[in-house]
Amino acid sequence: MDANKLKLTASAAAVVAALTGAYTLGHANSPASQASASQVTAPITMSQPAAAARAELPDMSGIVARNSPSVVNISVSGTRKAGSRGPRSPQFDDDESIPDFLRRFGAPHNGGDAPARGLGSGFIVSPDGTILTNAHVVDGAEEVIVKLTDKREFKAKVLGLDTASDVAVLKIDAKDLPVVRIGSAANTRVGEWVLAIGSPFGFESSASAGIVSAFSRSLPDGSYVPFIQTDVAVNPGNSGGPLFNMAGEVIGINSQIYSRSGGYQGLSFAIPIEVAMNVERQIVAHGKVQRGRLGVAIQEVNQSLADSFGLKKPAGALVGSVDRDSPAAKAGLQPGDVILSINGKEIASSNELPAIVSSMKPGEQAKLQVWRKGETRAVDVEVGKFGDQQLASNDATDAGKGRLGVVVRPLTPEEQRRSDVGNGVMVQNVAGAAAKAGIQPGDIVIAVNGEAISSTEQLRSLISKAGKRIAVLVDRGNARIFIPVDLG
């Protein structure tokens, strides 16, 4: 049940907007047109139910007025090599053969060897300048600028980013800032009105509204996040902005849209605020995020599977495989088991289980109710640790402080499987000697001077003891290459 890294991309390009009339009046003096006009101008009578429904539409102006000062505009800058996609940044085109897909939409950037810039949104959660946004908005950025509604601008420090949940925490040097009120996504119902505030295409403090369409959406990217689905119109630049309920509380962070064009097409997805605040607390307190892990691959139980396993109804999470030496394996879980509940909470759908386990602390006990061979049984599992993500600053200046000039983190289990490497560390940012040699974000450093790399600490130690020149073996797109680096 390892969480996949989110792999989708920010929409690209600057926008030139042109507003035109949607209706053209022609042949105005013809009899037909006069008759049509008389029909159009006839009085319209609204039925009492329709009038009542119209009267009940919420007035969101107060929510916008109170919360807009707490919503910030985020601009990022960095560099991008021509043809380089970087980590989790596939380049999509408009080929009609490509099916609909999920897009991250927060930081449009230009390509080539010129500076790359992007835009996103965020919101202030503490008066001393702590800000939440999406990880993909600031991932790889060399400079992050936060602009408030009063036009003040601050250079932000990235306290940490967690790509598994797509949440980043920023800090600006300011005091007595207006903050949002944090609510609960768990208390929200499908059909409720919600409101987004952000900077679509750079248009700051823009508000859009809709309803909650569904909960606990499991998206094709394999993320463990139980997304909130809405029909709120969000576009490039909204990413990282808050989603409010009608009490004016933040219940989510707008993160992804389902689109062929890169623009809004009726489906948007937000990270539940409970997930985001859990990440924020850990980053502020420890500088990193730890989440629980069982070590199983699961799938949904449909009616056919329920019938074949003798279940009364299609529910739970079907275990497809168990990782060797994982907590699940040590507890005796087997392929074919159906996990019905965890710590007394029923699992109605398989996508509920990853979010629950990931929110648990490593070492915590999980009590599972499991269906096996026609009967239920209790299984106790000591939750393991899902690959520690080191959430160091993403600033290129921090990368440049080391001799090699890289910001790295441990690989997630999914990255290890996908790249078929047993060891190594993921490059998040490069500067200095590494940048000059051609090491890129998204490279996996496997070895230095023939010595295999298994941790960030080992890499740091090897570099500190190395001579003027080293040979770095990296995995790039499942191809392994040696890169000579002059450390000077």
Residues noted as catalytic? 136, 166, 239
Residue with tokens 């069982």: 294
What is the phi-psi region of residue 254: left when phi exceeds 0, alpha when psi lies from -120 to 50, beta otherwise?
beta
Q: 118 near 137, Cβ under 8 Å?
A: yes
CB 148 within 8 A of CB 118: no
Relative to beta strand 296-300, strand 317-322 is antiparallel
For the chain, give the number of residues. Answer: 488
Q: Are strands 242-244 and 249-259 parallel, antiparallel or unpaired?
A: antiparallel
Give residue 48's region: left, alpha or beta (phi > 0; psi -120 to 50): alpha
Question: 264-294 burial, b if ≥16 CB within 10 A, otherwise e?
Answer: beebbbbbbbbbbbbbbebbeeeebbbbbbb
And the tokens for 370?
């499991």
Angstrom distance (rounded) from CA 104 to CA 43: 46
153's enclosing H/E stretch is strand 153-155
- Cβ–Cβ contacts within 10 Å for residue 332, how many? 14
Contact (Cβ atoms closer than 8 angstroms) between residue 78 and residue 116: yes
Q: Is 78:396 a contact under the CB 8 Å cutoff?
A: yes
- Beta-carbon count within 10 A of 186 CB: 10
**Distance of alpha carbon 105 from alpha carbon 240, whole angstroms:** 9
Rounded to an integer, what distance in angstroms lies between the CA atom of residue 436 and that of residue 450?
21
The CA distance from 262 to 200, in Å, is 12
Contact 106, 120 (CB under 8 A): yes
Distance CA 443, CA 425 (A): 8
8-state DSSP, 136: H
* CA 105 – CA 120 distance, rounded (Å): 8
Q: Report how far residue 307's alpha carbon sits from residue 315's, in angstroms, rounded to the nearest whole number.
A: 11
Distance separating alpha carbons of residues 315 and 305, to the nearest angstrom: 10
